[in-house]
Amino acid sequence: MAIQTPSFELGSPLVQPTAASASRGYWQSVARRLRRDPVTLICAGTLILIVAASLAAPWLGLADPYKTSMIRRLLPLGSPNYLLGTDELGRDMLARLIYGGRLSLFMGVTPVVCALLIGGLLGITAGFLGGRVNMLIMRVMDVFYAFPSVLLAISLSGAMGAGTENTLLSLTLVFIPPVCRVSESVTTQVRGFDFVDAARASGAGTLTIVRVHVLGNVLGPILVYATSLISVAIILAAGLSFLGLGVKPPEPEWGLMLNTLRQAIYVNPVLAALPGVMIFITSICFNLMSDGLRAAMDVKA
Amino acid sequence: MDTMIPVDRGGPAQPLLLATGLRKHFPVGGGILGRGRKVVRAVDDLTLSVAKGETLGVVGESGCGKSTVARLLIRLIKPDRGTMVLDGDPVDEPHGITVNELRRQVQMVFQDSYASLNPRLTIGETLAFAPKAHGLPAAEARERVRDLLSKVGLDPNNYAERYPHELSGGQRQRVNIARALALRPRLVILDEAVSALDKSVEAQVLNMLVDLKSELGLTYVFISHDLNVVQYLSDRVLVMYLGKIVELGPVEAIYGNPQHPYTRALLSARPSMDPRKRTKEAPIQGDPPNPIDPPSGCRFRTRCPFAEDVCARAEPALSDTGHQSVACHMSIAGSGHSKAVRGGAAAA
Amino acid sequence: MLLYALRRLIYLVPVAFGVSLLVFGLVHLAPGDPISAIVPPDAPKEVIDKLKEYYGFDKPLPVQYFRWLAVTLTGDFGTSIGTGRSVASEVSSAFGNTIILAIAATTLAFTLAVILGTAAAYAKSRIVDRLVTLISLIGVSVPHFWLAIVLVIIFAVEWGVLPPMGMGPENSTGWRLDRAHLAHMVLPTIALSVIPLGVVTRTVRSTIKETLSMEFVTALQAKGLSDRQILFHVLKNAAPTCLAVMGLQAGNLIGGSILIETVFAWPGTGFLLNSAIFRRDLPILQGTTLVLAGFFMLLNLTVDVIQTMVDPRIKRG
Residue from the list B104, B116, B166 with its beta carbon closest to the beta carbon of A203: B104
Residue from the list A23, A201, A203 with its beta carbon closest to the beta carbon of B108: A201
CB A108 within 8 A of CB A237: yes
Over residues C40-51, the mean pLDDT reads 70
Rounded mean pLDDT of chain B?
Answer: 85
Q: Do B33 and C6 touch (CB under 8 A)?
A: no
Would you kindly state where each structural domain of chain A is located, as residue ranges? 31-297
Tens-place pLDDT, residues B251-270: 999 999 899 999 998 888 77
CATH code (residue B98): 3.40.50.300
Chain C CB contacts of A159 below 8 Å = 26-27, 29-30, 282, 285
Distance CA A84, CA A76 (A): 7
- Distance from the Cα of C7 to chain B's closest Cα (Å) equals 6
Give the lowest-confidence range in A38-52, B14-28, B221-235. Answer: B14-28
Flag whether pLDDT at B13 surpasses 60.
Answer: yes
Please tell me which chains touch C, using 3 or more CB pairs under 8 Å as the contact test.
A, B
Over residues C134-150, the mean pLDDT reads 92
- Distance from the Cα of C226 to chain A's closest Cα (Å) equals 31
Q: Do B129 and A217 touch (CB under 8 A)?
A: no
Instruction: Please give the residue of chain A at the shortest CA–CA distance from B162.
Output: A23
Over residues B192-218, the mean pLDDT reads 91
Half-sphere exposure at residue C199, Cβ-oriented, CA atoms within 13 angstroms: 30
Tens-place pLDDT, residues B43-89: 888 899 999 999 999 998 877 888 899 999 999 989 999 999 998 88
Sequence-separated (6 or more) residues with CB below 8 Å from residue A203: B100, B103, B104, B130, B133, B134, B183
Chain B CB contacts of C7 below 8 Å = 32
Give the pLDDT confidence score for residue C164 in this predicted structure.
85
Q: Do B103 and A197 touch (CB under 8 A)?
A: no
Tens-place pLDDT, residues A231-289: 999 999 999 999 989 888 888 999 999 999 988 888 888 888 999 999 999 999 999 99
Residue from the list A148, A235, A272 with its beta carbon closest to the beta carbon of C149: A272
> DSSP string covering A117-186, please?
HHHHHHHHHHHHH-HHHHHHHHHHHHHHHTS-HHHHHHHHHHHH-SSHHHHHHHHHHHHHHHHHHHHHHH
Higher pLDDT residue, A123 or C81? A123
Instruction: Please give the residue of chain A at the shortest CA–CA distance from B117.
Output: A195
Residue from the list A23, A198, A202 with its beta carbon closest to the beta carbon of B110: A198
Distance CA B40, CA B27 (A): 6
Give the lowest-confidence range in A59-68, B185-194, C15-24. Answer: A59-68
Q: Do C29 and A160 touch (CB under 8 A)?
A: yes
Distance CA C157, CA B128 (A): 71
Give the pLDDT confidence score for residue B205 in this predicted structure.
92
Distance CA A92, CA A79 (A): 11
CB A222 within 8 A of CB A204: no
- φ/ψ region of A212 (left if φ > 0, alpha if ψ in -120 to 50, else beta) reads alpha
Whether B215 and B326 map to the same domain: the answer is no
- Distance from the Cα of B225 to chain A's closest Cα (Å) equals 19
- Quickly state the pLDDT bin for A14 (edges 50, 70, 90): very low
Chain A CB contacts of C21 below 8 Å = 143
Give the pLDDT confidence score for residue B176 in this predicted structure.
94
Over residues A49-53, the mean pLDDT reads 95
Over residues C4-9, the mean pLDDT reads 82
Give the pLDDT confidence score for residue A82 in this predicted structure.
78
Q: Do B119 and A197 touch (CB under 8 A)?
A: no
For residue C240, whether the previous peptide bond is cis, meaning omega lies within 30 degrees of 0, is no
Chain A CB contacts of B165 below 8 Å = 15-18, 20
Chain B CB contacts of A217 below 8 Å = 118-120
Partnered with residue B41 across adjacent β-strands are B25
3-class secondary-structure state, position B28: strand
Residue B114 forms part of a structural domain: yes
Tens-place pLDDT, residues A208-217: 999 999 998 9
Flag whether pLDDT at C32 surpasses 70.
Answer: no
Flag whether pLDDT at B124 surpasses 90.
Answer: yes
Over residues B306-332, the mean pLDDT reads 88
Whether B308 and B193 map to the same domain: the answer is no
Give the pLDDT confidence score for residue B348 in this predicted structure.
35
Q: Chain A to chain C, count of Cβ pairs less than 8 Å apart?
A: 173
Give the pLDDT confidence score for residue B282 in this predicted structure.
56
Residue B161 forms part of a structural domain: no
Flag whether pLDDT at A48 surpasses 90.
Answer: yes
Half-sphere exposure at residue A149, Cβ-oriented, CA atoms within 13 angstroms: 26
- Quickly state the pLDDT bin for B117 (edges 50, 70, 90): very high
Chain C CB contacts of B32 below 8 Å = 3, 6-7, 10
Is B348 an interface residue toward C (CB < 8 Å)?
Answer: no
- Indicate which of A150, A155, A281, A283 best probes the interface with C, i.e. most C CBs within 10 Å of its own CB: A155
User: What is the share, in percent, of chain C residues with pLDDT greater than 70?
Assistant: 91
Whether B100 and B220 map to the same domain: the answer is yes
Q: What are phi and psi of B282, to 5 degrees?
A: -65, 125
CB C166 within 8 A of CB C79: no
Q: Do B120 and A26 touch (CB under 8 A)?
A: yes
Over residues A112-125, the mean pLDDT reads 96
Chain B CB contacts of C3 below 8 Å = 32
Q: Do A17 and B114 touch (CB under 8 A)?
A: yes
Distance CA B162, CA B126 (A): 11
Partnered with residue B49 across adjacent β-strands are B18
* Domain span at B289: 271-348
Q: Do A212 and B129 touch (CB under 8 A)?
A: yes
- Quickly state the pLDDT bin for B290 (edges 50, 70, 90): confident
Give the lowest-confidence range in B329-338, C125-134, C163-172. Answer: C163-172
Give the pLDDT confidence score for residue C248 in this predicted structure.
86
Flag whether pLDDT at A6 surpasses 60.
Answer: no
Whether B236 and B296 map to the same domain: the answer is no
Which CATH number describes the domain made up of C87-316?
1.10.3720.10
Is A169 an interface residue toward C (CB < 8 Å)?
Answer: no
How would you list the strands of the sheet with B89-90, edge to edge? B38-50, B17-28, B81-86, B89-90
Chain A CB contacts of B114 below 8 Å = 14, 17
Instruction: Please give the residue of chain A at the shortest CA–CA distance from C253.
Output: A1
Flag whether pLDDT at C303 surpasses 70.
Answer: yes
Rounded mean pLDDT of chain C?
Answer: 84
Instruction: Please give the residue of chain A at the shortest CA–CA distance from B113.
Output: A194
Residue B207 forms part of a structural domain: yes
- Distance from the Cα of B80 to chain C's closest Cα (Å) equals 26
Give the pLDDT confidence score for residue C36 in this predicted structure.
65
Is B67 an interface residue toward A (CB < 8 Å)?
Answer: no
Chain C CB contacts of B36 below 8 Å = none
Q: Do A204 and B112 touch (CB under 8 A)?
A: no
Q: Do A212 and B76 touch (CB under 8 A)?
A: no
Chain A CB contacts of B74 below 8 Å = 201
Sequence-separated (6 or more) residues with CB below 8 Å from residue C21: A143, C65
Tens-place pLDDT, residues C211-239: 888 888 888 888 888 888 888 888 888 88
Residue B84 forms part of a structural domain: yes
Instruction: Please give the residue of chain B at the shortest CA–CA distance from C3.
Output: B32
Whether B45 and B192 map to the same domain: the answer is yes
- Quickly state the pLDDT bin for C174 (edges 50, 70, 90): confident
Sequence-separated (6 or more) residues with CB below 8 Å from residue C73: none
Please tell me which chains touch A, using 3 or more CB pairs under 8 Å as the contact test.
B, C
Tens-place pLDDT, residues B187-199: 999 998 888 888 8
Which CATH number describes the domain made up of A31-297?
1.10.3720.10
Flag whether pLDDT at B11 surpasses 80.
Answer: no
CB B345 within 8 A of CB B265: no
In chain A, residues 148-167 whose CB comes closer than 8 Å to chain C? 148-152, 154-156, 158-161
The DSSP output letter for B41 is: E
Chain A CB contacts of C199 below 8 Å = 4, 6-7
Would you kindly state where each structural domain of chain C is located, as residue ranges? 87-316
Distance CA C266, CA C175 (A): 11
Residue from the list A23, A194, A204 with its beta carbon closest to the beta carbon of B129: A204
- Quickly state the pLDDT bin for B32 (edges 50, 70, 90): very low
The DSSP output letter for A76 is: P
Chain B CB contacts of C6 below 8 Å = 32
Q: Chain B to chain C, count of Cβ pairs less than 8 Å apart?
A: 5
Q: Do B117 and A204 touch (CB under 8 A)?
A: no
Is B166 an interface residue toward A (CB < 8 Å)?
Answer: yes
Chain A CB contacts of B112 below 8 Å = 194
Flag whether pLDDT at B143 surpasses 90.
Answer: yes
Flag whether pLDDT at A53 surpasses 90.
Answer: yes
Instruction: Please give the residue of chain B at the shortest CA–CA distance from A27.
Output: B120
Give the pLDDT confidence score for residue A24 in this predicted structure.
63
Partnered with residue B107 across adjacent β-strands are B188
- Distance from the Cα of A202 to chain B's closest Cα (Å) equals 5
Distance CA B247, CA B262 (A): 9
Distance CA A296, CA A33 (A): 6
Higher pLDDT residue, B265 or C54? B265
